[in-house]
């Protein structure tokens, strides 16, 4: 039985049209305003070549802006935190100049991952569904880090010997469209650009792919993970290609894969020392969460995980029980979920994923104070942990403790200033706490990340009008307003 046979929801054509238009319109103004920047970056020209490091950073910010506007994302803190943990396990062994990476999880059940200039790493939720082991999942991340480290996008642009702004805009649109749909749709949506050049830019060359394979295998081995996960993952993609009648998975649209390349990767992987590489339990718990998300219905997910537990499927016992608990939670059966999670915690006290999910169940079961106590205790043992802080803030908000929730969301936005989800939640908490200035400031940061500087300026003007002159907050708001106003002037 397969949980992901029908996606929960699909990315629609309106997202695609908005994404292409958004990038084409915004790429000409490569002087973006970043959330909580103290100064506005300007685009210089160091590093040589057609695309400088500053330009790559600006491209990355524009891409993130367009993704926020146009593609549904998964903000589940357990999923996002796991992705960050596996990427940063690999990063020390990747030859990257810029290690300030930003990660995004696209809400799509298709297999895909992408790397964009400026340090953007993206995955579809479907990569978790199809990568059966953590080693296979990590191999895709290592491959994408290798593309970034070798600056393949910039090198391909230099080969094309063109820097026309609209061509660059089209190439960017095509890259991101290929990440959330199929590459031919991405190409078709790019009106007024050199379609053939874009097509060539989207498809990494054989030399690029071989180099990314080689560098990626080294990254995996140096990080203590299994290089054999890479050819295994490639085999899974090829099987998907055959199952879909020759319609390749999204990933293969931009990363051409052949049997000879798989054989070469398998041969290279076999030359590394043969060691046992055990997956972390965390990967399989996160994978179970996404299997529930993409199931036909929560009740179907309950039946499937129950079948695993009853011995009618191959899944480790803790993972199957956890998946069943998540399925009960999504099926509005928090009592059953709570019982399972308490049992799991009795066997493995202190596991954060179980604790956070139990807090979710307690909140759904009307036991908000108990959820707060659980998360406060967990936070005491794990200071600064993102999923715990996130869930504690949600519980405080649910309990009507608006100021405590706002304080926690402020802490989170300080740590993760690029999260539109957190700025939205902070605005809601500030509103519940009747801190109108705080609402306007949080909304302004949200609009900045979404690329709507006019709306951001209006929010900051409202905040400024409500703060007495000469106060520290007035100075902060005025400085931010000045930055937004300058950015708008540079756009015109």
- The predicted model gives 432-445 an average pLDDT of 98
Tokens of 10: 């699909």
Q: Which of 134, 144, 211, 338 is catalytic?
A: 144
Query: Is it the case that residue 220 has pLDDT exceeding 60?
Result: yes
Confidence at 352, pLDDT banded by 50, 70, 90: very high
Q: How many domains does the chain have?
A: 2
Q: Binding site annotation covers 235? A: no
| Residue 149 domain flag | yes
Block residue for tokens 């005491």: 380
The least confident of 52-56, 264-268, 387-391, 409-413 is: 52-56
Residue 235 Cα distances to 77, 144, 204, 468, angstroms: 30, 17, 19, 64
251-254 long-range Cβ contacts below 8 angstroms, 24+ apart: 251/111, 251/112, 251/113, 251/140, 253/178, 253/182, 253/183, 253/184, 253/202, 253/203, 254/114, 254/175, 254/178, 254/183, 254/202, 254/203, 254/204
Task: Specify whether 97 is catalytic.
Answer: no
- What are the tens digits of pLDDT across the range 231-283? 999 999 888 766 655 555 555 455 556 788 888 899 999 999 988 899 999 99
Q: Which of 76, 107, 134, 213 is catalytic?
A: 213
Q: What is the pLDDT of residue 327?
A: 98
Domain region containing 468: 425-492
- What are the tens digits of pLDDT across the range 453-474? 999 999 999 999 999 999 999 9
Q: How, if at all, do strands 120-124 and 113-116 pair?
A: antiparallel
Calculate what percentage of the chain has a pLDDT beyond 90.
58
Q: What CA–CA distance (Å, rounded) separates 436 from 91?
A: 41
State pTM to two decimals.
Answer: 0.83
- The predicted model gives 143-166 an average pLDDT of 64
| Residue 401 domain flag | no
| Residue 49 domain flag | yes
Among the three residues 248, 270, 292, which one is the final residue of a domain in this structure? 270
| Residue 439 domain flag | yes
Q: What is the pLDDT of residue 247?
A: 55
Calculate what percentage of the chain has a pLDDT beyond 70.
74
Q: What CA–CA distance (Å, rounded) separates 278 from 290?
A: 21
Q: What is the pLDDT of residue 151?
A: 66
Stronger pLDDT, 242 or 413, i.e. the higher one:
413
Block residue for tokens 């052949």: 258
The least confident of 22-26, 154-158, 358-362 is: 22-26
| Residue 370 domain flag | no
Tokens of 231: 């050819």
Query: Is it the case that residue 145 has pLDDT exceeding 80?
Result: yes
Confidence at 491, pLDDT banded by 50, 70, 90: confident
Q: What CA–CA distance (Å, rounded) separates 268 from 217?
A: 8
Query: Is it the case that residue 38 has pLDDT exceeding 60?
Result: no
| Residue 300 domain flag | no
Q: Binding site annotation covers 152? A: no
Q: What is the pLDDT of residue 450?
A: 92
Q: What is the pLDDT of residue 188?
A: 40
DSSP-H helix ranges across 100-205: 125-130, 134-149, 152-160, 165-180, 183-188, 195-202
| Residue 34 domain flag | yes
Q: What is the pLDDT of residue 165?
A: 41
Among the three residues 225, 254, 270, which one is the final residue of a domain in this structure? 270
Among the three residues 270, 293, 314, which one is the final residue of a domain in this structure? 270
Q: What is the pLDDT of residue 251?
A: 52
Q: What is the pLDDT of residue 87?
A: 95
Q: What is the pLDDT of residue 171?
A: 58
| Residue 379 domain flag | no
- The predicted model gives 351-380 an average pLDDT of 98
Q: What CA–CA distance (Å, rounded) separates 381 from 186?
A: 47
The least confident of 24-38, 221-235, 265-279 is: 24-38
Q: What is the pLDDT of residue 18?
A: 39
Q: What is the pLDDT of residue 172?
A: 57
Query: Is it the case that residue 190 has pLDDT exceeding 80?
Result: no
- What are the tens digits of pLDDT across the range 82-121? 999 999 999 999 988 777 888 899 999 988 888 877 888 8
Q: What is the pLDDT of residue 257?
A: 64
Query: Is it the case that residue 224 has pLDDT exceeding 70?
Result: yes
Residues 6+ apart with CB under 8 A from 211: 146, 150, 152
Q: Are 160 and 105 in contact (CB under 8 A)?
A: no
Q: Are 290 and 282 in contact (CB under 8 A)?
A: no
Confidence at 54, pLDDT banded by 50, 70, 90: confident
Task: Specify whether 454 is catalytic.
Answer: no
Q: What is the pLDDT of residue 300?
A: 97
Tell me the average pLDDT of the chain: 81
Q: Binding site annotation covers 209? A: yes
- The predicted model gives 2-9 an average pLDDT of 43
Residues 6+ apart with CB under 8 A from 308: 314, 315, 320, 323, 324
The least confident of 65-79, 239-253, 384-398, 418-432 is: 239-253
Strand partners, 104: 122
Query: Is it the case that residue 36 has pLDDT exceeding 70?
Result: no
The least confident of 32-41, 257-266, 348-357, 481-490 is: 32-41
Rounded to the nearest 5°, which phi and psi values hold at 317?
A: -55, -50
Nearest Cα neighbor of 450 from 484, 413, 420, 426 is 420
Q: What is the pLDDT of residue 261?
A: 83
Q: What is the pLDDT of residue 70?
A: 77
- The predicted model gives 176-192 an average pLDDT of 44
């Amino acid at each position: 039985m397969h949980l992901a046979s029908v996606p929960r929801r699909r990315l629609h054509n309106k997202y695609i049209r908005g994404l292409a238009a958004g990038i084409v319109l915004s790429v000409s103004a490569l002087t973006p305003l970043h959330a909580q920047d103290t100064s506005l970056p300007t685009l210089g020209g160091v590093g040589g070549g057609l695309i400088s490091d500053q330009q790559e950073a600006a491209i990355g910010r524009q891409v993130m802006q367009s993704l926020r506007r146009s593609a549904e994302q998964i903000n589940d803190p357990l999923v996002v935190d796991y992705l960050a943990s596996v990427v940063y396990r690999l990063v020390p062994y990747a030859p990257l100049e810029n290690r300030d990476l930003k990660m995004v999880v696209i809400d799509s059940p298709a297999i895909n991952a992408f790397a964009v200039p400026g340090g953007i790493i993206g995955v579809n939720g479907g990569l978790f569904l199809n990568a059966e082991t953590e080693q296979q999942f990590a191999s895709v991340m290592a491959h994408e880090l290798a593309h970034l480290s070798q600056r393949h996008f910039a090198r391909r642009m230099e080969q094309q010997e063109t820097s026309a702004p609209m061509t660059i805009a089209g190439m960017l649109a095509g890259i991101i469209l290929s990440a959330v749909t199929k590459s031919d749709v991405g190409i078709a949506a790019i009106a007024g650009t050199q379609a053939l050049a874009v097509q060539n830019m989207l498809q990494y060359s054989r030399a690029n792919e071989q180099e990314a394979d080689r560098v990626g295998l080294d990254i995996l081995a140096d990080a203590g993970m299994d290089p054999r996960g890479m050819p295994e993952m490639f085999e899974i993609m090829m099987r998907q290609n055959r199952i879909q009648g020759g319609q390749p998975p999204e990933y293969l649209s931009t990363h051409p894969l052949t049997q000879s390349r798989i054989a070469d990767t398998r041969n290279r992987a076999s030359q590394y020392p043969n060691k046992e590489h055990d997956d972390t339990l965390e990967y399989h718990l996160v994978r179970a969460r996404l299997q529930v998300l993409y199931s036909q219905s929560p009740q179907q997910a309950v039946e499937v995980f129950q079948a695993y537990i009853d011995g009618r499927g191959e899944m480790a016992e803790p993972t199957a029980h956890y998946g069943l608990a998540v399925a009960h939670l999504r099926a509005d059966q928090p009592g059953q979920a709570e019982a399972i999670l308490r049992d799991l915690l009795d066997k493995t006290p202190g596991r954060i994923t179980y604790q956070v999910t139990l807090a979710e169940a307690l909140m759904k079961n009307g036991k908000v104070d108990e959820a707060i106590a659980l998360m406060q205790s967990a936070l005491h043992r794990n200071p600064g942990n993102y999923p715990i802080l996130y869930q504690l803030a949600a519980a405080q908000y649910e309990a009507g403790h608006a100021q405590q929730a706002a304080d926690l969301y402020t802490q989170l936005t300080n740590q993760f200033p690029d999260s539109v989800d957190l700025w939205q939640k902070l605005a809601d908490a500030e509103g519940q706490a009747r801190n109108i200035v705080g609402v306007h400031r949080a909304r302004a940061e949200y609009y900045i990340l979404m690329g709507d500087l006019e709306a951001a300026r209006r929010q900051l003007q409202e905040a400024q009008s409500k703060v007495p002159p000469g106060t520290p907050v007035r100075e902060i708001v005025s400085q931010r307003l000045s930055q937004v106003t300058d950015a708008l002037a540079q756009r015109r």
